Amino acid sequence: MNKNMKPSGTLMETFPAMFLLVLVASFNMVGAQRGAGQPGMPATGPAPAAAGGCLFDVTKYGAVGDEKTDMSAALVKAWADACASTTPATIVVPTGTFLCGRTDLKGPCKAPEITFQVQGTISAPADISGDTAGESWFLFDNVNNLNINGNGVFDGQGPAIWKTVKSVAVAMHACMQTLRFNYVTNALIEGITSKDSKNFHFIVIGGKNLTFSHITITAAGDSPNTDGIHMGRAAQISILDSNIGTGDDCISVGDGISDLTVTNVTCGPGHGIAIGSLGMYPNESPVKGIHVKNCTLTNTLNGLRIKSWPDREVCDASDIHFDDIIMNNVSFPIIVDQDYCPWNTCKNTVRIVNRLYCVLYDSGLNVSQQLELLESTDS
């Protein structure tokens, strides 16, 4: 997440080297191009309804794809019927552009599985006059066995307000996140696009076993606080074969995350992949079991970053691995910052200690050019 980072030190803009950092994490960086190429996208066309299940088309509930009729009431009704189904249920948003206001889609449900299939474009209201701090455009709450798929688009209409949002703090507290998953278990989010979110694109809180596969997340490089996927206090999260480009972190990891796998993800523009910030609040849960592999970061401010507050609470981060990462034109490739204090309100009481670095391969580059360990920043 932002925060107008200006760390000290000189780092090269392109980072084509491989080495291993042993701290709480291991980094294995390679600059050679992989033969597999860029992450592929799934076959186009809508996924079928769950076998033997019921189909709930939002247009049958009054939704109109005319770009001006709010379909939120129709969607809530379709969700209620799907949730009450005793067989697998599929809600379909067909082709067309559907305006939709803030919508809560809550469980628990009787349906053994619910699929939300987006074939068209769902467009958010352009203004933020009705937004409330911490709210989400779409909230999926306490749902088990959820699928979100199709080749459709969630258009957050961010450009309409980005010019009026003067700071990240305003974006955080005045603008809605696009999709929020609260205590969702056993979910597959696949093939969809999130475009121009006003705030975070996706946020996962308190869930287990969620997979994001072949998704596209896009926003302008200067859009405020538009993290791609943020998560906290969740387990068994996978982000696979996806393209993320935003104005903030492509992926940000809060406290309480365990067993996170990120594979074959392209990131850029944005602020890279971040763990933290950690230790801001009391009773934060440990971060452990983070595996980021075969990813490419291009034209990002940061590459891989771990950040914690210096004078707040204790929070452990361990078993963190970054392997086979390609970076192109990345300003600050690796940052381990235990003095993260974006508003300069902290006492400098923490320093990095007991650190060990092992250079496995260096293509003519100085390690000091590749690694930035910060005792304090204004980022």
d(Cα 358, Cα 214) in Å, to the nearest integer?
35
Rounded to a whole number, what is the distance in angstroms from the first to the last CA of the chain?
Answer: 10
Residues 273 and 266: their CA atoms lie apart, in Å, by 11
Length of the chain: 379
Q: How far is CA 163 from CA 127, 223, 256, in A?
A: 12, 9, 34
Assess whether the previous peptide bond of 94 is cis (omega < 30° from 0).
Answer: no
167 contacts: CB under 8 Å, gap ≥ 6: 224
Alpha-carbon distance of 169 to 20, in angstroms, equals 35
The tokens for 334 are: 């690796």
Q: Give yes or no for a contact between 269 and 245, defined as CB atoms under 8 angstroms apart.
A: yes
CB under 8 Å to 169, separation ≥6 — which residues? none
**Could you confirm whether 271 is annotated as catalytic?**
yes
Which pairing describes strands 54-57 and 136-141: parallel, antiparallel, or unpaired?
Answer: unpaired
Catalytic residue among 230, 271, 291, 321: 271
Would you name the residues annotated as active-site residues? 271
